[in-house]
Structure 1
Amino acid sequence: MPTKATTNSSSRRSLIVLGVMMIGIGLLYLLSLLTFQESDYAAVSRLGFGDLLDPSSRSATLVQNWVGTVGAWLAHLSVTLLFGVFSVTLPVVLIGSGWVMIRDLSWDRWLRKVVLMTFWMLTLSTFAGWFALEFDSISSVMSGQVGFMLASLLQGLLSWGALILLLTALATLSFMTFKVDFSFLLNLDVSAFTQWVKQRLSSMRKLADAQKEVPRAAVSRPSEPQADTPKSSASSPASASASSAPPASTPAPTTETPASTQPPTKSSEEASSSSGNIEIVVGQEEEDAGTKDLGRAQKAAASGSKNKFQFPSEDLLDPATEDDTPVNMDEIRRVGDLISDKLKQHNIALKTHAEDDGEDRELRATVGPTVTLYEIEPEDHVKISRIGGYANDLKMATAAKGIRIIAPIPGKSAVGIEIPNSNRQMVHIRSMINKKKFVDSDMDLPIAFGKTIDNEIFMIDLARMPHLLIAGATGSGKSVGINTIITCLLYKLHPDNLKFVLIDPKKIELSLYRHIQNQYLAYVEGAEEPIVTDTSKALGALKSVCKEMDSRYELLKMAMVRDIKAYNDKFAAGGLEDDLGHRHLPFIVVIIDELADLMMTAGRQIEEPISRIAQLARAVGIHLVIATQRPSVNVITGTIKANFPARIAYQVASKVDSRTILDVGGADELVGKGDMLFSNGAQMVRVQNAFVSTEEVERITAFIGQQSHYNQPLVLESDEAEEAAGQGDVGDVDSLFIEAAKTVMLHQQGSVSLLQRKLKIGYNRAGRLI
């Protein structure tokens, strides 16, 4: 008996210790969730699991979570990937279990409560996911990935029946948890409420009839049967009679559209003919640089090069024909009136602003090449989230192909509603590269994607991004976007300063660039073709880029500089010796046209070199451009996504795909054919991608390829070759040693560059052979 009592006492002490530990861990867990910050994951994602405990790391100092890097990682796992904000149930369960152990309470009752709390967590998370699917203003952090996936599944199976099912589940859980008796609903006297509703409907009907009769009496004229429109019925008699006057007797106001934004091809009368309810703004074309300025800028880019290279002329591109289709002012007014009327039907009041011409306007329409942005400013008492909930109503009222609501517009106290134009204007690549904004740009890797809604050229510097993730459905313009990137860089950078590594699992998308292999392409030594089309060889190509990255970091270390620009400046000034392996380092742009094919064949193996390059290669001038037509979580994994803050989304099939690439909805409402959204984390810009035809690409590459000043491309050292060379004994030699010796004897001299040219191998391997 004493032995049994001692055993029970020891077991009891163990339970108390375990309970105290569970309560402590649960409190830390709860504190990490309460101090969760979405920005913490960007810092934590750059650390390995073993580095999470290292407080000296730079990323660890950026974490704002009160429990440090471990808390930030745990909070991200729970909130983002599991059950959203309702993941607080998990530490509550942990703390409660510890308390049950300490107090030696009944486990049966506690387990029933745990099951009930679990159902509450799943139901509320799914309910929040349903709201996130229906309303873009609801953050996906509320539901987490689990709740969002469950809501997507239910909505796909039941549509609006999913809401009924979730409400039923909430009512059932409320009954089981709080013992709510719903029988009182059967005894309610609803007669008073029904009578009140009837009175309200009757008074609203009388008021509507009165509003219809007054404008008719005020504007009824024998010669104007068309004056009875929804717009005239909502206006006052004075404004109705003024708007019905002949156009010749009405002076054209000059404040309708500012002079700085009026296109030269549009008359001021047409640009200012908008009604008193809407202000129409048409962006002005930017100034051309001219062929001479373009040639001068290209010569400046090639200055200092020992090889004379002739840049392609803009004459190789199709002429940017002037679009003579005028802006349909009547359509813009009609759509603006429909938006205003539909919002007022839902009791969303809009502010009016007095203009210089004395008229009050509720809307401002900015006409772009693809869409028109309607800006509205709701009254102070109106919740902005309500406007986003009426997206489908506005889409049906305006008969638009797609509608995107920006609530609010960043930097403005207004809400934006983007609606596609009935007549789209094509944006040509020639109209991008011959503008002063592109020619005079001092960016390292300038890319002119297209035009914004304000008709401004949208440019980015790939060197500052520093990588780009592109997604879009088939036929949305993704391949044209890649051609735009390459074309802009070919027109701006000398071959000595730029090299491409092209990986094309589709085998046909990038095949046009074979002509420029000696000028602009870099490929792995021993490769049969400069463009990687075999998915089994793509992994080796990316590993070779990683080796080039490591080699460049060694050169920067020896030169005691921090980035490629400082290194090249120091090398050009003669501050670095060639004997130590120093050389001019060009920018390397790695383009992967279809990531999904690589992920299907290589999976995690392909993810590792992509993550290494994305994390480390910016300082040494290596940049990634990855495109896919399947923006799913299996292709765009969390590791890849965390290292690509700059993303482009063309039209996608669903809101889930849009959230995968952009973290928000909107890409599913694009209209295709180059219509895209660019996001760099801080801003979201809608752009009409410039069009580059296949014939234009063929002319450009043929012109560059016929120049014989370059007799070899840049060759990257094969990863397999170095591994094979490093696995032998001390007496083993490289397989090319005999051929290298013959080459040196034949030319009576030996150098690294000689072996590179004659044996077509990389710099590091040639250095070992010497």
Structure 2
Amino acid sequence: MAKNNLNTSTNTPGLDANRKKEIIGIIIMSIAVLLGLSIFSYNAGDYQYARSISFIDLFNPDANSRLVQNWLGPVGAYLSHYLVHSLFGYTSIILALIIGYHGWHTFRRRDFKDLGWLTVLSIWGMILLSTFIGWLTTNADFPDDSIWSGAAGIAIAQVLYNITNIGSIIILSVLMLVTMLMFVDRDLQKTIDSVKLWIENIQEKMEERRAARQLRKEEKAKEREKRLAEKRAAKAQKKSEKEEEEELKKQPISETKDEKEPVKPAPSIDELVEKSEEEDQKKREKEQSEVKTLDTRQRASLEKEEEIDDEEDDIEVSVYVGKGDEQADEKDLDKLNKEKAKEVPVIKYKFPTVDLLDPPPSEGNEVDLEEIKENKRIILDKLKRHKIEIVGINAIVGPTVTLYELEPAPDVKISKIESYSNDLKMATASKGLRMISPIPGKSAVGIEVPNTTRETVYIKQVLNTKKFVETDFVLPVAFGKTIENEVFMIDLTKMPHLLIAGATGSGKSVGINTIITCLLYKCHPDNLKFVMIDPKKIELSLYRNIQNHFLAMLPDSDEPIITDTSKAQDTLESLCKEMDERYDLLKMAMVRDIKSYNEKYKTGELDEELGHRHLPYIVVIIDELADLMMTAGKQIEEPIARLAQLARAIGIHLVVATQRPSVNVITGTIKANFPARIAYQVASKVDSRTILDQGGADQLIGMGDMLFNNGTGMIRIQNAFVSTEEVEKINSFIGQQAGYKEPFHLPIIKDDTSEIPDPLEDIDEYFEAAAKLVILHQQGSVSLLQRKLKIGYNRAGRIIDQLFNAGIVGPYQGSTARDVLIQDEDELQELLDNLDEYD
């Protein structure tokens, strides 16, 4: 029976903890509302009536309690008297707001962790505001009404005035300003930046409206001019029609009935001569204007052509100045980036503006027609001496070189022209002459001769074009300008990896800065991360300012830019792990690439509880591969090769640069997986063939002059120049913004020692010989065992692991050899005997 009673009491329905919190929250909010009503309805005379009321009078219908005007009656009169009159005046309403906010938190079952700071700051603000009003009431001839500040506020203000006199109002003003800023955000710097950004946004909107109004005015003015012109034209047409009718009436009518049309009088000889002279004059003026426009080499102009005649030779050379890409408006890129920033509301990010880039000089380089004419004469004369007939020649003038397109006679062999390339180089006295035989897609042989005065292509000229601004590439990279003066732009996602090589000082570092700058101007931090490996330690150090926006790194890494070889190896292996994890996510999502995955994740089709997340693109920048290959070799080559083979679909792309393009640095495995390659000036033809599979890079002239090959053909480009100062300004602009709380963290790789086999199981037959070799040379390295025992890398690595578990060598130390823990063979023999006994 007792048992049944116990069960009955246990199953009795009651209030759970959540429902209790909701009820308590409603009660607290009700108290706050009542308190606020009593403060709002404060009346100075209510307290006197409330004091005269006895407890019995409360039950009398005609009691004095009816004289109390407070909305809460005598209770409200007492509360409002103490809060408004005796303490902090009408500012006491803040106390009611705080209580109501606590009640709402209780009702919503929220955590009170962050509410303590707000409560303390609110009470402090109430006291400070009451004191500020009290100071104005007592010292600034304000109306003497203590209900706004209360007696406590006036008393504190008087004490502060007695201590600091007129300085008290300055102190109170500063404290008020600081308190307001802390209400907005406890990070004052962030608050100031937010206010500045807000002011800038207002100014930009006002400028946009002003520009829109100006544009509407101009359009209206154009419409008015158009209407006036149409009216004038209509009047002129009517006038001409009337004149024609009058002339027709004056002309004699023919006697024949069939021929009713008027016969026009034949023009005189003087009129014909005068007309021909006018046509000749117009032709001469047109030719002179074409020559003038050709001399001023402006990239935004249309394609120009000029024929140069040689008195001694009947072959004409046509000079073409390539048509430049249309320049965008100064604010087009900035407007597009603002719209793009609004689409990704993860953080409030502002793209770098075009104003951060240095403007190119207003005066462009001139086309030297005399130089082109002289080079044409030298080339034709040299080939004529060797009995090579040329039937046509064209010259395409680029920023760095001029391409002469030679059209040989049908019976001339191309190999014969190619054999005289060194003779032509000596005859033209050029720094580097490159021959293209034949030009792809044309029945002509190309000879590239460097210009005497070369043009610098500035990064602003490239980024501020409509081609770059309106591109739909995911990772757009605009390298510079081609010979035809067109902006050369590629999508890194389609390449998918890039191999760069060139001698010291040829422009590799500027090229890497150009790639990074293009991506910073077009990609949001939520969609792009960089992994920067810089063994030289100085080239990429400028980008440490944007680590919380764009950089990816290991969680235990001290520096955002990787400069240590062992850290570089760990980072590359971590990227391989990230690649494998991403492929697993794509497999679960049943998609084939990162773009489809992110679209599916954005629409909410993928569950975060299963590990799904937004996947940003990762661009790995390696500034000097030769140093990594020299110190780590195979250990670096393997993860690079893995990433190059598999990482395209999941958004990891490599940009690898080296100043030593030899076969032991750019190995066959790496080379096979990098179809897109860039060659700056190199020292020899062997280096050119290593990077491009053909010659030509040895004939480049440096300072950003480069050849690009993606397997479909060779393109010569003048790299856009971006200065160190421009890079600093861009990084400073991004770094000053509020970014993510920490950099993008790559996955941690497991320690190699966790998977080392037990030393007493499956010991290799070379174990004892390897141990003696290691002790003899006091060097625990895999390469030593490979050379001395003539075994493979994997087997030597397993033996080293067994030696570590046996206590003969120390743990893994990255690129350096392991420490040897045994000093002589006697100690080794004793250890081996113990192992045999244990076995």
Matched residue, 2:390: 350
Instruction: Indicate the structure (1 or 2) with the bigger Cα radius of gyration.
Output: 2
Q: For 1:684 and 1:486, how far apart are their aligned partners in 2?
A: 23
Residue in structure 1 matched with residue 489 of structure 2 by the alignment? 459
Query: Which of 366, 386, 402 in structure 2 is aligned with 1:372?
Result: 402
**2:601 corresponding residue in structure 1:** 571
The match for 1:338 is 378
Match of 1:642 among 660, 672, 679: 672
C-alpha separation between the residues in 1 aligned to 2:712 and 2:290?
32
Q: Give distance in 2, aligned partners of 1:617 and 1:459.
A: 22
Deviation per CA, 1:257-285: give whole Å up to 9, x if none: 99999955899999636336211011233
Q: Following the alignment from structure 2 to structure 1, what is the Cα–Cα distance between the partners of residues 298 and 399?
A: 16
* Alignment map for 1:64-75 (pairs within 5 Å): none
Query: Given residue 405 of structure 1, which amino acid in structure 2 is its aligned partner?
Result: M
Secondary structure at 1:377 match in 2: strand
User: CA 1:363/1:427 → structure 2, altered by over 3 Å: closer, same or farther?
Assistant: same
Corresponding residue number in structure 1 for 2:618: 588
Task: Pick the aligned partner of 1:450 from 468, 475, 480.
Answer: 480
Matches of 1:569 and 1:648 in 2, distance apart?
Answer: 33
How far 1:609 moved relative to its partner? 0.2
- TM-score normalized by the length of structure 1: 0.59
Query: Offset at 1:532?
Result: 0.5
2:572 paired with 1:542:
yes
Task: Determine if the alignment matches structure 1 residue 697 to structure 2 residue 721.
Answer: no
Counterpart of 1:311?
351
Which whole-Å CA distance do the structure 2 matches of 1:519 and 1:392 have between them?
51
Tell me how far 1:301 sits from its aligned partner.
Answer: 3.2
Report sequence identity in percent: 63
Matches within 5 A, 1:121-160: none
Change (3 A) 1:677 1:718: same
Report the secondary structure of 1:307's partner residue.
coil
2:530–2:551 Cα contact (<8 Å) kept: yes
Counterpart of 1:331, as a letter, is E
Distance (whole Å) between structure 1 residues aligned to residue 303 and residue 530 of structure 2: 50
| CA separation of 1:565 and 1:262: change in aligned 2, threshold 3 A | farther
CA drift of 1:250 comes to 5.9
Check the 8 A contact 2:319/2:396 in 1, yes or no.
Answer: yes
C-alpha separation in 1, matches of 2:360 and 2:741: 35
Does the CA-based 8 Å contact 2:348-2:738 persist in structure 1? no
Report what 1:627 is aligned to: 657
Give the Cα–Cα distance (whole angstroms) in 1 for the partners of residues 397 and 487 of structure 2: 15
1:680 aligns with 2:714: no
Out of 353, 362, 366, the position equivalent to 1:326 is 366
1:708 to 732, 735, 738: 738
1:375-390 aligned at under 5 Å gives the runs 375-390=405-420
Partner Cα separation in structure 2 for residue 711 and residue 586 of structure 1: 17
1:300 and 1:686 map into 2 onto residues whose CA distance is: 35
- String of CA shifts for 1:308-355, please: whole Å, max 9, x gaps: 21000011111122343311111011101111111111111112xxxx
Q: Which residue, out of 493, 503, 506, partners 1:473?
A: 503
Q: Map 1:168-183 to 2 at 5 A.
A: none
Note closer, same or farther for the CA distance 1:559–1:268 as it changes in structure 2 (3 Å cut). Answer: closer
Partners in 2 of 1:497 and 1:537 — Cα distance? Answer: 25
Runs of 4+ in 1 over 4 A off after TM superposition: 247-271, 723-729
Partners of 2:618 and 2:651 within 8 A in 1: yes
Once residues 261 and 712 of structure 1 are traced to their aligned partners in structure 2, the CA distance between those partners, rounded to angstroms, is 55
1:261 touches 1:284 (CA, 8 Å); kept in 2?
A: no
Q: Which residue of 1 aligns with 2:801?
A: none
Give the whole-Å Cα distance in 2 for the aligned partners of 1:582 and 1:394.
62
Q: 3-state DSSP class of the match of 1:719?
A: coil
Q: Is the 8 A contact 2:325 2:465 kept in 1?
A: yes
Residue identity in the other structure for 1:389: S
Residue from 523, 526, 551 that aligns with 1:493: 523
Classify 1:458/1:258 alpha carbon distance in 2 versus 1 (closer, same or farther; 3 Å).
Answer: farther
Cα deviation for residue 561 of structure 1 reads: 0.1
CA distance in 1, matches of 2:649, 2:363: 43
Give the whole-Å Cα distance in 1 for the aligned partners of 2:714 and 2:557: 40
Give secondary structure in 2 for the equivalent of 1:499. strand
In the alignment, residue 317 of structure 1 is paired with which amino acid? L
Do the aligned partners of 2:349 and 2:738 also contact (CA within 8 Å) in 1?
no
Q: Aligned pair count?
A: 472
Q: 1:407 aligns to what? A: 437
Pairwise CA distance, 1:685: 0.2
**Rounded Cα–Cα distance in structure 1 between residues aligned with 2:716 and 2:301:** 27
Equivalent residues of 2:481, 2:487 under 8 A apart: yes
Name the aligned partner's letter for residue 353 of structure 2.
Answer: S
Check 1:285–1:610 CA distance in 2 against 1; reply closer, same or farther (3 A cut).
Answer: same
Choose from 309, 314, 318 the match for 1:275: 309
State the shift of 1:719 in Å: 1.4
Query: For 2:537 and 2:675, how far apart are their aligned partners in 1?
Result: 28
Task: Pick closer, same or farther for the CA change 1:525–1:412 going to 2, 3 Å.
Answer: same
Counterpart residue identity of residue 450, structure 2: P
Question: What is the DSSP-based 3-state SS (H/G/I as helix, E as strand, rest coil) of the residue aligned with 1:496?
Answer: coil
Contact 1:257–1:279 (CA<8 Å) still a contact in 2? no
After TM superposition, list the pairs within 5 Å mapping 1:216-235 onto structure 2.
Answer: none
Give the counterpart letter for 1:283 in structure 2. Answer: G
> What 5-or-longer segments of structure 2 have no aligned partner?
1-280, 311-315, 759-839
> Does the 8 Å CA contact 1:595/1:628 hold for their aligned counterparts?
yes
Alignment deviations for residues 70-124 of structure 1 (CA, whole Å, 9 cap, x no partner): xxxxxxxxxxxxxxxxxxxxxxxxxxxxxxxxxxxxxxxxxxxxxxxxxxxxxxx
- 1:644-683 map, 5 Å: 644-683=674-713
Distance 2:298 2:460 in 1: 19
Aligned equivalent of 1:290: 329
Aligned mates of 1:279, 1:418 — CA distance in 2: 15
The TM-score, its normalising length taken from structure 2, stands at: 0.54
The answer to whether the 8 Å contact 1:472/1:629 transfers is yes
C-alpha distance in structure 2 between counterparts of 1:613 and 1:265, whole Å: 40
> What's the offset of the Cα at 1:286?
1.7
Matched, 1:508 2:538: yes
Contact preservation (8 Å) 2:462, 2:487? yes
Separation in 1, partners of 2:289, 2:457: 28
Gaps of 5+ in 1: 1-246, 352-361, 730-770
Distance 1:417 1:535 in 2: 44
1:392 alignment counterpart: 422
Cα separation, 1, equivalents of 2:511 and 2:467: 19
Task: Please state whether the residue corresponding to 2:318 is helix, strand or coil.
Answer: strand
Greater relative CO (CA pairs within 8 A, separation 6+)? 1
Q: 1:252 to 1:398 in 2, by over 3 A?
A: farther
Q: Is the partner of 2:717 in helix, strand or coil?
A: strand
CA distance in 2 between counterparts of 1:294 and 1:324 reads 24
Return the offset for 1:500: 0.2
In 2, the alpha carbon distance for the partners of 1:550 and 1:289 equals 42
